[in-house]
Amino acid sequence: MQRSSFCYVAGTPVLETQGLTKHYTLGQETVRALDRVDFTAVQGDFAVVNGPSGSGKTTLLNMLALIDRPSEGEVLFEGRPTRRLSEGELALLRREKIGLVFQTFNLIPVLSVAENVEYPLLLTKTPRGERRGRVAARLEEVGLSGFEKRRPDELSGGQRQRVAVARALVTAPRIVLADEPTANLDSATGRQIMELLQGLNRDHCVTFLVVTHDPSVLDYAQRVLTIRDGRIQGEEKRGAPRPA
């Protein structure tokens, strides 16, 4: 992956929330999953949102990934409000500008490793030749060259998560959102994945926002936001990421 030109404008807001609130109705009761969250992710960030189960981490990630709509407040993507965007416009933003890494990898089992990574490029109608090149480059970056034809069920958990990372990066998104990327991995593999993300952030200026309850992930963050009961409790700036 070539170093992104966006790196030269590090600090430019990519994702921003203003008074972001989400509440669900359970029977008679209204549960506030997110309560007036204000947060900004800037270009080149490696931010980690940390909090216990049920604190609202995943709800926040869903809002930032534009796959769920807020009850109140706004999510701005590159300064553009998204609340009034249609389903189609949100899908366009997701496929072109947001990369997603899931806790359970969420690879498509009937597709090979290369096809899984290629899938988002098909959605953006990228020409075939360019697709091939990008897929090969991303797989090389995540250390999976030679695994192109394998199916997900022929890979270890760590390898699957690497494929998921390659898939998230293949469209050169403005930001990659990762939901508990180490939760389904043993600690050694989890470290490898985090080092991979950190390397991509450091060397290729990929912006990452990681949601986790795993304390070991915090070591890789430039910024740590703690969330509890749907509210950001505090933010810790850690400066440059830990060297790999």
Partner 1 sequence: MTIKIAARNVFRNRRRTLISLLVIGIGLTILSFVLGFVGEAITAAQRSLAMELGALQIGDPRVLDGKASGLEGLIDPEVAQRALALVEELPNVAGVTTQVRFAGLVGDEQGSTLLLARGIVPEDCMANYACLIVAGRGLEGSEAREIVLGERLAERLGVGPGDRVNVATGTVSGTLNAATVTVVGVVQYGEAQVEERLGFVPLGFAQRLLRTSGVERILVWLDDLDQASGFAGQLTRAFSSAGLPLAVRTWDELTPFFASLETFWSAFSGFTTLAVFALVLFSVLEVLTISFLERTREVGTVRALGASRGRVFAGFVSEGVLVGIVGGLGGAVSGAIVAVLFNALGLTFVPPGGNMPQPIRVAVSASTLVIPFLVALGATFLSSLYPAAKNARLTVVEALRSL
When the beta carbons of 78 and 115 are compared against partner 1, the nearer one is: 115
- Backbone angles phi and psi of 181, in degrees to 5: -70, -15
Q: How many helices (H) and strands (E) does the chain have?
A: 6, 10
Q: Rounded to whole angstroms, how far apart are CA atoms 49 and 148?
A: 33
Least distance to partner 1, CB of residue 56, Å = 14
Task: Tell me, by CB under 8 A, how many residues bind partner 1.
Answer: 28
Q: Select 77 or 220, whichever has its Cβ closest to partner 1.
A: 77
Closest to partner 1 by CB, 209 vs 224, is 209
Q: Which listed range, 10-18, 31-39, 96-104, 203-211, lies at the site for partner 1 (CB under 8 A)?
A: 96-104
First to last CA, the chain: 18
Question: Judged by CB under 8 A, does residue 68 bind partner 1?
Answer: yes
| Complete DSSP assignment for 104-152 | T----TTS-HHHHHHHHHHHTT--HHHHHHHHHHHHHHTT-TT-TT--G
- Smallest distance, partner 1 to C-beta of residue 103, A: 10
> Token pair for residue 41?
């992710």
Is residue 94 at the binding interface for partner 1, with CB under 8 A as the rule?
yes
The residue within the footprint of partner 1, chosen from 43, 50, 62, 207 (CB under 8 A), is 62
What's the min distance (Å) between Cβ of 193 and partner 1?
A: 18
CB of 48 to partner 1, least distance (A): 20
Q: Is 240 buried (19+), middle (13-18) or exposed (0-12) by CB count in 10 A? A: exposed
- Cα separation values, 85 from 34, 46, 111, Å: 21, 27, 31
Length of the chain measured in residues = 244
How far apart CA 136 and CA 138 sit, in angstroms, is 6
Q: Would you count residue 77 as binding partner 1 (CB under 8 A)?
A: no
Q: Which of 12, 78, 119, 199 binds partner 1 (CB under 8 A)?
A: 119
Residue 197 CB burial class (10 angstroms; 0-12, 13-18, ≥19)? buried
Pick from 72, 74, 78, 115 the residue near partner 1 by CB under 8 A: 115
- Judged by CB, which is closer to partner 1: 163, or 221? 163
Q: Which C-beta is closer to partner 1: that of 31 or that of 122?
A: 122
Binding site for partner 1 (CB under 8 A): 62, 65, 67-68, 87-88, 91-96, 98, 100, 102, 106, 108-111, 115, 118-120, 122-124, 167
